[in-house]
Chains A and B, each alone.
Chain A
Amino acid sequence: MVTLLDVIIRVLVGIAVLGFLAGSAMFLIWLERKVSAHIQNRYGPMRVGWHGVLQAVADAVKLLLKENIVPREADKLVWWLAPFFAVVPSVMAFAVVPFGKHIIVQDLNIGILYITAVTSICVLSVFMAGWGSNNKYAMLSAMRSAAQIISYEIPLTIAVVTVLMFANTLSMQGIVASQAHRWFIFHPSLALAFLIYMISATAEVNRTPFDISEAESELVAGFHTEYSGMKFAMFFIGEYTNVFIVSAIATTLFLGGWQGPLLPSPIWFLAKTYTLVFVLMWVRWTFPRVRIDQLMGFAWKVLTPIALANLAIAGLLLLK
């Protein structure tokens, strides 16, 4: 029986998660600017607030006040919907992310399947933006990223399946609970799955070295070339929310989720997640970008076979 109290608690947690999400995206934008700056011998934002912590707020205000330019001959409906498709699926994914022992909006019994399904919608936004903009660069970028994201979804899902075989559950809390004795990353077969997951996840969220969909030096700004103001900000928020989501899933699947000694569970969860986010940023500001054919070749000829072989080995390990 679901009591009224239950519903109220869930709604409150949901609101808290939404608030956290907005704060987190802003924090990540600030963090990325700081990390990149320090890697590059710069300070980054310094003026707005202490070491520029409020820079994201200032940027948001600026973007809100900006004119909303719609290109001539744009496919209006698709053009308008694209930014929402960028943000909404990532927000939906937050519903099943276990932030702590009891902090989860809804522990679905198909949690991980739900996340994989929902985050796949993000590719639509890229394609819609590229098509709707009536811009050749945007169109090229959309074609590229549709191919890219769909290709990398396969090794990513196989890596996730490898974990599920050991966890014996699809529920996010269940997966965390099954790592009570040993984090999955310390298992040889799953350590490889972790690597495959992180590489595919980098490609999923379009970050260097797989950022060909918004390759600045080739495609100006890729699919969001024509977007300005708050619509552009939506893509930006969507991107950083996605970065958080993939790191949060990696934490839950491989790093024992919120488990850890002494400190309260949400702190452990956030510490692990932000460490992974930092690694993603570190990689972004160090590596050059791969070419489209190299990227696709890597997904189909290297990553997918390794992931499949790993899955088979994991199965054999479970048999004995």
Chain B
Amino acid sequence: MSETVKESKHLATEDFLVNMGPQHPSTHGVLYLELQIDGEVVVDCTVHLGYLHRSMEKIAESRTYTQFIPFTDRLDYIASMNNNLAYVLAVEKLLNMEVPERAKYIRIIIAELGRIGSHLLGIGTFAQDLGAFATPLFYGFRDREQIVEIFDELCGNRLTYNYMRIGGVQFDLTKELVDKTRKFVQYMRHKVDDYEWLLSGNAIFLARTKGIGVMPKEQAISYAVTGPNLRGSGVKWDLRKDEPYLGYEKFQFDVCTRENGDSWDRYKVRLDEIRQSLRIIEQAVDGLPEGDPTVKVGRVIKPAVGEAYMRAESPRGELGFYIVSDGSTNPYRLKIRSPSFSNLAVLPELVRGLKVADLVCILGSLDIIMGEIDR
């Protein structure tokens, strides 16, 4: 324990060392923050990781390409579908494989639904961290439930879906589910306004978030922050637009950005992105082509010797999979570039000099998931 004594004219005060986590209500998993605080002010913050390490990348080396799909569910468990997607896209890139149009559309619908579900929870937990006790969180869960039900009907799972397949998807999107998705889009349009009512207009919410944890553009870029956090700082960077995959270039949607890069902006970007995702889903559902959503790839997948890096826009930012193949059934090496890891790295820079309550606010606004940080 390193505690420094500061001499002042009147009173000698000591910094206080607080271990926030690994068990703490607002660290979003098993995150351990070593805080040095002076009264209420955070002097320094050290992030300690590794409590949820499951050696995912090493496990991949002893699994076949298909066998690794369920493991990707356990990375960012709030948006499992998006993890599935990024991984199968990487393998398909390695295989130089083209998937049917229908599969692409279904993947887009599912990915955007996953994004909405993740953002709903992100906003809910953020408000919870600000002390809006559980109510916004439960609202988030209520609306996310509709998405989870669609996924449940689609693939039989509610959290870890294991739905995407190399060369397509596991099950086809039935007509009933298409109708259900359409209904959900209508339902969610109203609900987004509800969130604006509950939170955006609240004076306390504004006072707690505006100007707190300002992340300038340059800082965000130098820390490789991605996703809504980067766009909140005013950088117009969205892989769906700038490096389109799955044919995202065919869809009409805006990349939401804000200028100030504070907690409020990060919250607002998420809320706006829900609206944009609804737009994409609507277009994808309307233009859903007929046909078989999978191509036959055979039971044994043996990519040629080589390597591939594929990145996709997950709800938290840039999720990348780097795969090296030695021509066998298992990857020779698999590296995951998870967005939350970089997003968390900037935290100590943002919190110095702020209050403990602000630290919790900023951590919530970064919307991290420990599952993909520790892998």
List the interface of chain A (C-beta within 8 A of B).
Answer: 36, 39-42, 136-137, 140, 143-144, 208-209, 211-212, 215-218, 220, 284-294
Q: Is B132 an interface residue (CB 8 A)?
A: yes
Q: List 24 A-B contacts (CB under 8 A).
A: A36-B133, A36-B134, A36-B135, A39-B135, A40-B134, A40-B138, A136-B16, A140-B356, A143-B39, A144-B40, A208-B133, A216-B133, A217-B25, A218-B356, A218-B357, A218-B360, A286-B135, A287-B132, A288-B131, A288-B204, A291-B207, A291-B355, A292-B40, A294-B207
Q: Is B128 an interface residue (CB 8 A)?
A: yes
Shortest distance from the beta carbon of B23 to any chain A beta carbon, whole Å: 9
Q: Is B236 an interface residue (CB 8 A)?
A: no
Closest B residue by C-beta to A287:
B204
State A7–B11 Cα separation when bound (angstroms).
55
Closest A residue by C-beta to B17:
A136
Q: Which 10 A-B pairs have the closest CB atoms?
A: A289-B131, A217-B26, A40-B138, A288-B132, A288-B130, A291-B357, A217-B129, A288-B131, A288-B204, A218-B360
Shortest distance from the beta carbon of A189 to any chain B beta carbon, whole Å: 25
State A39–B132 Cα separation when bound (angstroms).
12
State A56–B198 Cα separation when bound (angstroms).
30
Q: Which residues of B contact A41 (CB under 8 A)?
A: 138-139, 142
Known interface pairs A288-B132, A293-B355; A217-B204 also in contact (CB < 8 Å): no
State A292–B132 Cα separation when bound (angstroms).
15
Q: Cβ of A292 and Cβ of B130 under 8 Å apart?
A: no
Looking at the complex, which one of B128, B131, B208 makes contact with A211 (CB distance below 8 Å)?
Answer: B131
Shortest distance from the beta carbon of B16 to any chain A beta carbon, whole Å: 7
Q: Which residues of B contact A36 (CB under 8 A)?
A: 133-135
Q: Cβ of B138 and Cβ of A42 under 8 Å apart?
A: yes
Binary flags per residue of B191-220, CB closer than 8 Å to A gives 1, else 0: 000000011001011011000000000000
State A288–B207 Cα separation when bound (angstroms).
10
Shortest distance from the beta carbon of A274 to any chain B beta carbon, whole Å: 21
Looking at the complex, which one of B26, B131, B139, B360 makes contact with A208 (CB distance below 8 Å)?
Answer: B131
Shortest distance from the beta carbon of A147 to any chain B beta carbon, whole Å: 10
State A290–B39 Cα separation when bound (angstroms).
17
Given A216-B133, A218-B356: 6 more A-B contacts, CB < 8 Å: A41-B138, A41-B139, A137-B18, A140-B18, A217-B360, A291-B355
State A163–B64 Cα separation when bound (angstroms).
78
Q: Cβ of B135 and Cβ of A40 under 8 Å apart?
A: yes
Q: Cβ of B208 and Cβ of A291 under 8 Å apart?
A: yes
State A144–B24 Cα separation when bound (angstroms).
19
State A292–B134 Cα separation when bound (angstroms).
20
Q: Is B358 an interface residue (CB 8 A)?
A: yes
Q: Cβ of A289 and Cβ of B128 under 8 Å apart?
A: no
State A208–B207 Cα separation when bound (angstroms).
15
State A212–B128 Cα separation when bound (angstroms).
13
Closest A residue by C-beta to B16:
A136
State A41–B128 Cα separation when bound (angstroms).
16
Q: Which residues of A contact B134 (CB under 8 A)?
A: 36, 40, 285
Shortest distance from the beta carbon of B214 to any chain A beta carbon, whole Å: 16
Shortest distance from the beta carbon of B33 to any chain A beta carbon, whole Å: 12
Q: Which residues of A contact B256 (CB under 8 A)?
A: none
Shortest distance from the beta carbon of B210 to any chain A beta carbon, whole Å: 12
Q: Cβ of A215 and Cβ of B142 under 8 Å apart?
A: no
State A285–B358 Cα separation when bound (angstroms).
21
Binary flags per residue of B171-199, CB closer than 8 Å to A gives 1, else 0: 00000000000000000000000000011
Looking at the complex, which one of B39, B129, B202 makes contact with A287 (CB distance below 8 Å)?
Answer: B202
Q: Which residues of A contact B25 (CB under 8 A)?
A: 216-217, 220
Q: Cβ of B16 and Cβ of A209 under 8 Å apart?
A: no
State A136–B37 Cα separation when bound (angstroms).
11
Q: Which residues of B contact A217 (CB under 8 A)?
A: 25-26, 128-131, 360, 364
Most buried by A among B25, B142, B357: B357
Shortest distance from the beta carbon of A36 to any chain B beta carbon, whole Å: 7
Q: Cβ of B208 and Cβ of A288 under 8 Å apart?
A: yes
Most buried by B among A36, A40, A144, A285: A40
Q: Which residues of A contact B18 (CB under 8 A)?
A: 136-137, 140
Shortest distance from the beta carbon of A278 to any chain B beta carbon, whole Å: 16
Closest A residue by C-beta to B361:
A291
Q: Cβ of A220 and Cβ of B24 under 8 Å apart?
A: yes
Q: Cβ of A285 and Cβ of B207 under 8 Å apart?
A: no
State A89–B138 Cα separation when bound (angstroms).
36
State A233–B335 Cα separation when bound (angstroms).
50
Q: Which residues of A contact B40 (CB under 8 A)?
A: 140, 144, 292-293
State A287–B202 Cα separation when bound (angstroms).
8
Q: Is B88 an interface residue (CB 8 A)?
A: no
Q: Which residues of B contact A220 (CB under 8 A)?
A: 24-25
Known interface pairs A41-B138, A41-B139; A291-B132 also in contact (CB < 8 Å): no
State A224–B355 Cα separation when bound (angstroms).
22
State A291–B205 Cα separation when bound (angstroms).
10
Looking at the complex, which one of B17, B129, B204 makes contact with A290 (CB distance below 8 Å)?
Answer: B204
State A129–B25 Cα separation when bound (angstroms).
21
State A218–B198 Cα separation when bound (angstroms).
22
Binary flags per residue of B1-40, CB closer than 8 Å to A gives 1, else 0: 0000000000000001110000011100000000000011
Q: Which residues of B contact A140 (CB under 8 A)?
A: 16, 18, 40, 356
State A304–B16 Cα separation when bound (angstroms).
32
Q: Cβ of A292 and Cβ of B208 under 8 Å apart?
A: no
State A36–B358 Cα separation when bound (angstroms).
26
Q: Is B284 an interface residue (CB 8 A)?
A: no
State A244–B163 Cα separation when bound (angstroms).
53
Q: Which residues of A contact B45 (CB under 8 A)?
A: none
Q: Which residues of A contact B142 (CB under 8 A)?
A: 41
State A215–B360 Cα separation when bound (angstroms).
11
Q: Is B127 an interface residue (CB 8 A)?
A: yes
Closest B residue by C-beta to A284:
B133
Q: In chain B between 348 and 375, which residues have their CB closer than 8 angstroms to a CB of chain A? A: 355-358, 360, 364
Shortest distance from the beta carbon of B130 to any chain A beta carbon, whole Å: 4
Shortest distance from the beta carbon of A289 to any chain B beta carbon, whole Å: 3
Q: Cβ of B132 and Cβ of A286 under 8 Å apart?
A: yes
State A289–B128 Cα separation when bound (angstroms).
9
Known interface pairs A137-B18, A291-B357, A291-B358; A209-B138 also in contact (CB < 8 Å): no
